[in-house]
Amino acid sequence: MRRDHRLSRRLFLSELGRRTLAVTILGATVAACSDDDSSTGPEGAGSSAPAGDDAATATTGSGASAADDTANDDQASDAAALRWERADFGFVSAYVLARGNEVAIVDTGTDGNGGQIEQALAALSLGWADVDHVIVTHAHGDHIGGLDAVLTAAPESTGYAGSGDIDKLSAPREIVAVDDGDEIFGLEILGTPGHTPGHISAFDPGTGLFLAGDAMITENGQLAGPVAQFSDDIDLAEESVKAIADTPVSTIVVGHGEPITDGAADQLARLATEL
């Protein structure tokens, strides 16, 4: 795979999206991903997902044996391993990711008290105080409705969004604008414009986990393209999928639909040829 070429193509698409798409106000986009995004409150716990065990990083003294070094290396590796939980709001999902005691939340669900996200944190034996990063994939109400509540519950966290959507966000503190090629929490940020001008996705190279937001959906266990009805520019949105088709994914999680944990790379390649 020629990654530099792929990144530059996504950057081109991101730039094209920002220059050619009209900026829409949040009020017009709140219902864009769903006509039922007014649902609020904790409706269920986050679903369990592939995870590694927590482990604290140990230090090695000058007299440590080779076996001690190996054990410490294993502990450090476990502490850095990515674990994740789905926060299921019924028709839309957010995701909680953890490396040791460092946490990133991707999307915030609908407006409410953050109950589903809190339950996902608890499933990882973590809490709001562990949250360092809050990433929103795009400025549609069912993905950012809980942004204020989440940032308030996690006061030490930093919020991030694609630069093309940043002006549509309202939050208790400044949101950092990111673009294709940036990195947060060890995640590669991929510009996937079209659904909204500043839509972003995120990819973890170590595990192959791809967080698609609404760049794609799943239906009946199959990956599907972005929904034209709710996309600002469906042609650009489909080009964004094609541009990330060679990403070495092992799992794809989406805002709408069930995660794809088997054959994800093949499904992504197939989808790109069908769009």
d(CA 140, CA 169): 9
Residue 57 inside a domain? The answer is no
Provide the token pair at 266: 């093949």
Residue 7: give the domain boundaries.
3-19+42-49+78-274
Kindly tell me if the per-residue pLDDT of 68 is higher than 60.
Answer: no
d(CA 208, CA 215): 17
Average pLDDT over residues 118-136: 97
Kindly tell me if the per-residue pLDDT of 30 is higher than 70.
Answer: no
Average pLDDT over residues 203-214: 98
100 torsion bin: left (phi>0), alpha (psi -120 to 50), beta (else): left
Mean pLDDT value across the chain: 80
**Encoded amino acid at 266, one letter:** D
Residue 199 inside a domain? The answer is yes
Instruction: Supply the pLDDT for residue 109.
Output: 94
Per-residue confidence at 174, pLDDT binned at 50, 70, 90?
A: very high
CB atoms within 10 A of CB 217: 20
Provide the token pair at 146: 């809980």
Residue 109 inside a domain? The answer is yes
Per-residue confidence at 141, pLDDT binned at 50, 70, 90?
A: very high
Instruction: Give yes or no for a contact between 120 and 154, defined as CB atoms under 8 angstroms apart.
Output: no
Provide the token pair at 144: 């950012």
Residue 155 inside a domain? The answer is yes
Instruction: Supply the pLDDT for residue 169.
Output: 96
Residue 72 inside a domain? The answer is no
Q: How many domains does the chain have?
A: 1
Higher pLDDT, residue 66 or 181: 181
Residue 93 inside a domain? The answer is yes
Residue 33 inside a domain? The answer is no
CATH (domain of 267) = 3.60.15.10
Provide the token pair at 27: 């009020």
Residue 35 inside a domain? The answer is no
Average pLDDT over residues 203-222: 97
Q: Which of 18-27, 69-78, 208-217 has the highest mean pLDDT?
A: 208-217
Instruction: Supply the pLDDT for residue 53.
Output: 39
pTM of the model: 0.74
Instruction: Supply the pLDDT for residue 80.
Output: 74
Instruction: Give yes or no for a contact between 275 and 237, defined as CB atoms under 8 angstroms apart.
Output: no
Within the chain, strands assigned E span 82-88, 93-99, 102-106, 131-136, 158-162, 175-178, 183-184, 187-191, 200-204, 209-211, 217-219, 222-224, 251-253
Kindly tell me if the per-residue pLDDT of 149 is higher than 60.
Answer: yes
Instruction: Supply the pLDDT for residue 128.
Output: 96
